[in-house]
Copies of this chain bind each other. A is one copy, B any other.
Amino acid sequence: MLKLYHHPFSPASRFARLMLSEHECKVEFVVERPWDRRADFMHMNPAGTVPLMTENDGPPLVGAPVIMEYLDETRGYAMADRRLMPNHPDARAEMRRLVDWFGHKFHDEVTGYFVHERIFKLEIPTSRGGGAPDSAILRAARTNIRHHLRYIGWLAGTRNWLAGDRITYADLAAAAELSAIDYLGEVPWDEDAHATAWYARVKSRPAFRSLLADKVPGLPASATYADLDF
């Protein structure tokens, strides 16, 4: 049995959930709030980050990219022509570059700021840095997202999917990051038609449904969040 420790609005956790759903895996979900630094969890992952997955109470699989490689190694073959990892080493490299781009660069410059300031700080105790969002940080993130959205639009406009002509883990990684801040209405969709059309295609996949049902207590989703024809 697979077990996923995650937070509903951690973009990397959402990436893991999308992968598991595309693989049609049965999963037990455990919500973990990383800022609690729960001892048993820190023991499994000294970095204290989500997502973390185990299979049959085996060793911890730490982080979305590690989970991605594990799922492909253990279940990729069974996906046949729906496999999310390209076959050619060059294409795999491009896909992995994008997974890293969205999980680190896009996250560090855009989504990480929004999610931390606008969602996590509602839950984090004031004594540990919770509280009102920092408007200077939100302003920076709102500037940065425009450049990133243009890059996503360029990728989606010159290829069919972000890493090539078929859907791969890279699309899930990007859509996971975007979905967390789409909830907040922080994606200026009208600025790039290619990016918007690509996101609508990913969002309409059955794997996406559980994400669209997530809610932050006291903070309603943006009007377009769960709308497949936004």
Is A63's CB under 8 angstroms from B100's CB?
A: yes
CA distance A120 to B46 in the complex (A): 30
| B96:A58 contact, CB within 8 angstroms | no
Given contacts A46-B151, A151-B46, contact A93 B66 (CB under 8 A): yes
CB of A219 within 8 A of chain B?
Answer: no
Interface residues of A in 72-90 (CB under 8 A from B): 73-74, 89-90
Residue contact A96 to B47, C-beta cutoff 8 Å? no
Select one of B63, B70, B97 contacting A63, CB under 8 A: B97
B101 touching A89, Cβ below 8 Å: no
Interface size class of A (residues with CB under 8 A): 20 to 34
A69 at the interface (CB under 8 A from B): yes
What's the Cα separation between A131 and B35 when bound, in Å?
36
- Residues of chain B within 8 A (CB-CB) of A62 are 93, 97, 100
Indicate which residue in B46, B61, B90 contacts A93 across the interface (CB closer than 8 Å). Answer: B61
- Expressed in whole angstroms, the Cα–Cα distance for A63 and B96 within the complex equals 10
A38 within 8 A of partner (CB): no
Residues of chain B within 8 A (CB-CB) of A61 are 90, 93, 97
A104 within 8 A of B: yes
* Residue A37 CB within 8 A of the other chain: no
Q: Compute how far the CA of A5 lies from the CA of B7 in the bound complex, rounded to whole angstroms.
A: 38
Q: Given contacts A65-B100, A100-B65, A100-B66, are A93 and B47 in contact (CB under 8 A)?
A: no
Q: Which of A63, A74, A96 has the most CB of B within 10 A?
A: A96
- In the bound complex, do residue B97 and residue A66 qualify as a contact, i.e. CB atoms below 8 Å apart? yes
Q: Mark A173-190, 1 if CB is under 8 A from B, else 0.
A: 000000000000000000
A70 and B89 within 8 A (CB): yes
Closest to A147 in B: B46
State the A residues within 8 Å of B (CB).
46-47, 58-63, 65-66, 69-70, 73-74, 89-90, 92-94, 96-97, 100-101, 104-105, 151
4 extra A-B contacts, CB within 8 A, seeds A59-B94, A61-B97, A65-B100: A62-B93, A62-B100, A66-B100, A70-B92
